[in-house]
Amino acid sequence: MALLNDISEALQKGRAQDVKTLVQQAIDEKTPVREILEDGLMAGMGIIGEKFKNNEVYVPEVLIAARAMNGGIELIRPLLVEAGVKERGTVVIGTVKGDLHDIGKNLVKMMVEGKGMKVIDLGTNVTADAFVAAAKENNAQIIACSALLTTTMGEMKEVVQKAKDAGLHGVKIMVGGAPVTQNFCDTIGADAYAPDAASAADSALALCTA
Amino acid sequence: MRVESIRKRTLDSIQRRAEGFVPFEFDLCPSLLAEFTRRTGKSDYRDFFSMPFRWVSAGPQTRDIDFTRYFPDPDSVSHIDAWGIGHKAGDYAHFERMIAPMAGFTSVGEFERYPYPDPDNDFDWTAVTERIGQLKEKDLVSVAGMAVTIFEMAWYLRGMDTFLIDLMTDTDLAEYHMDRITRIRTACAARYAEAGVDVLHLGDDVATQRGMMISPEMWRRFLKPRLAAVIDAARGANPSIIIDYHSDGDITEIVADLVEIGVDQLNPIQPECMDPYAIKREFGDRLSLRGAVGTQTTMPFGSPDEVEFTCRRLIAELGKGGGFVLAPTHVLEPEVPWENIETLVRVVLEHNA
């Protein structure tokens, strides 16, 4: 549908006002809200994610695309509730204890939301206990941990251990951040590693729908 | 006995006039500094290990300005620096959070009214000139610290997300802000050069380990000309000043641009995401390298043997024709084993003996 494609295009260009106008138009034309979400907003964010992964767009482009997406979501939120459209999963995300870096974590959050999942953002300097408590409280399928520093990445092992101790066997632990590797992920017994934000969102969705 | 000047050997090496001698340096985090002191009874590891480089800085000095009005919640800020950036200590190691005073600005007028530091009145140039002279007498190389030159200073003041969005959608705000910072930096670059500093250290982290944080086109449009102006100001005052440029992450895409605008030495060349050997092959006749010892791999997680192997290979290949300062790519953090630091020092001293 042309209008949904226009929403996707406007979102990719980060044109927040255009996205709002087009989404409102789609609502007025009685376009099913799931289509506005999936074929308009999420489609656009998916393309931005792929381009970001391939270094065809960069952080500023992602930020304005995500901002445009959020504007569109705000408009359709009541309709999503009404239509019973559920999120595709719930992810608790945060930067681990001791680490105050957040841009990478925020990018993952944007990409995961762009896949239609709910994100509970615990911010930075998050203890293993806080990850576990939030995962329980929100019935999350995934705990996603970020670290930029070799000094703090060890904390991820603590998260894996605490989740196990708390009996959160169904909850998958994802890890990422500059110094983190697949090998490190395997060593600490985490479930998935992603080298970039878009891949993290793909993995999260795969883990939620597996 | 012939006593060779370390200062001369270092300058000859980084200007690629001689090969053989490889200068080295590293920075220790507070807990490793404590470990150094415990082991040696000394407090200055640069002196102890005979590293040739010493920092000089004119400021900005502490200013009598109440910046608290720029913070919606002044109590959340534990310290405000001379630029007006808020800092709040984290609760682990030496890490701290920064709070941007300009986050809420929406008009150029607000930027115009902001008390950016003044290069004449808020910096102490007399002390810098004296210190540069003292360092020369001590056979040391002076390095003026002016990292966080434009891009990073812009976002420290404005907030990272906000500034990156400004670059897309509010370019008039972004350009005004960067111009104000650039004017301060060019004036200071000229003053440092006039004062006779050996090396001017510039830097902005413009990349992640997966590539540029902003597009190369955006960097060329907004940052390259401003960085070039800072370099030109320094060169105008002292043509032989050495320009050292730092960016974390993979900046392979803009190395040629940096060489073009006059960067002499690149730092830190993170081996986890950039190939220092390839950079040496392509640019080694025009560009010196400082760094290249991985602080996500070799230093924290390598065995002493691996540290030795890595350092020997770097010295052998990057040191060809001069133009290599062996250094870890970042401050050494608490988890780096002391044996690895000792190994690095031993390898480079053996090479230089």
pLDDT tens per residue, range B183-198:
999 999 999 999 999 9
Q: Cα separation of A34 and A118, whole Å?
A: 15
What is the pLDDT, as a whole number, of residue B92?
Answer: 76
Question: Chain A residues with CB inside 8 Å of B218's CB?
Answer: 58, 60
Q: Which residue has the tokens 């982290």?
A: B205
Domains and CATH numbers, chain A: 2-82 (1.10.1240.10), 90-209 (3.40.50.280)
Query: Checking DSSP bridges between strand B86-89 and strand B96-99, what pairing results, if any?
Result: antiparallel
> How far, in whole angstroms, is CA A6 from its chain's centroid?
23
Going along chain A, which residue ranges are E strands? Answer: 90-95, 118-121, 142-146, 172-176, 192-193
pLDDT tens digits, residue range A188-209?
Answer: 999 999 999 999 999 999 999 8
A64, A104, A179: residue with CB nearest B165? A64
Distances (CA, A) of B186 to A191, B54, B119, B192, B234: 50, 22, 9, 10, 7
In tens, the pLDDT along B83-93 reads: 999 999 887 77
Which residues of chain B have a Cβ shorter than 8 Å from any chain A Cβ?
90-93, 95-97, 160-161, 164-165, 167-169, 208-215, 218, 272, 295-296, 300-301, 333-335
Put simply, the answer to whether A150 touches B296 (Cβ < 8 Å) is yes
Cα dist from B247 to A135, B99, B118, B204, B253, whole Å: 37, 22, 26, 5, 12
Residue B39 phi/psi, 5-degree rounding, is: -80, -30
pLDDT, average across residues B208-231: 98
Sheet holding A172-176, edge to edge: A118-121, A90-95, A142-146, A172-176, A192-193
Structure tokens that stand for A4 in this block:
């949904």
The model's confidence at residue B1, banded by pLDDT at 50, 70 and 90, is: very low
Contact present, B14 and B288 (Cβ < 8 Å): yes
Beta bridge partners of B142: B54
Q: Which of A63, A150, A152 sits opposite B165 (nearest CB)?
A: A63
Query: Minimal CA–CA distance to A113: which of A18, A208, A20?
Result: A208
Does the structure show a pLDDT above 50 at B164?
Answer: yes
The band of B3, judged by pLDDT with boundaries at 50, 70 and 90, is low
**Contact state of B218 with A60 under an 8 Å Cβ cutoff:** yes
Amino acid in the structure at residue A14 = G
Contact A103 B161 (CB under 8 A): yes
**Phi, psi dihedral angles at A193 (to 5 degrees):** -120, 140
Rg (CA), chain B: 20
User: In the prediction, which pLDDT does A31 show?
Assistant: 97
> Residue B335 and residue A103: Cβ atoms within 8 Å?
no
* pTM reported for the whole predicted model: 0.96
Least CA distance to B92: which residue of chain A?
Answer: A98
* Residue segments in chain A with a per-residue pLDDT below the cut of 50: none
- CA A180 from centroid of its chain's CA atoms: 18
Candidates A52, A54, A65, A69; CA nearest to A104 is: A52
**Pairing verdict, β B86-89 and B79-80:** antiparallel
Decide if the complex's ipTM is over 0.90: yes
Q: How far is CA B147 from CA A54, B119, B205, B285, in A?
A: 29, 16, 9, 25
Nearest CA in chain B to A53: B210
pLDDT in tens, B99-118: 999 999 999 999 999 999 99
* Residue in B32, B151, B152, B165 to test binding to A, most A beta-carbons within 10 Å: B165
Cα-to-chain-centroid distance, residue A67? 14
Q: Do B169 and A55 touch (CB under 8 A)?
A: no
Mean pLDDT computed over B295-307 = 97
Q: Which residues pair with A93 in a beta bridge?
A: A121, A144
Query: Could you tell me where the DSSP H helices lie in chain B?
Result: 6-14, 30-40, 45-48, 108-113, 125-137, 151-158, 160-169, 171-194, 216-222, 224-237, 255-260, 276-283, 298-301, 304-318, 338-352
Chain A contacts of B334, Cβ < 8 Å? 151
pLDDT of the residue at B94: 79
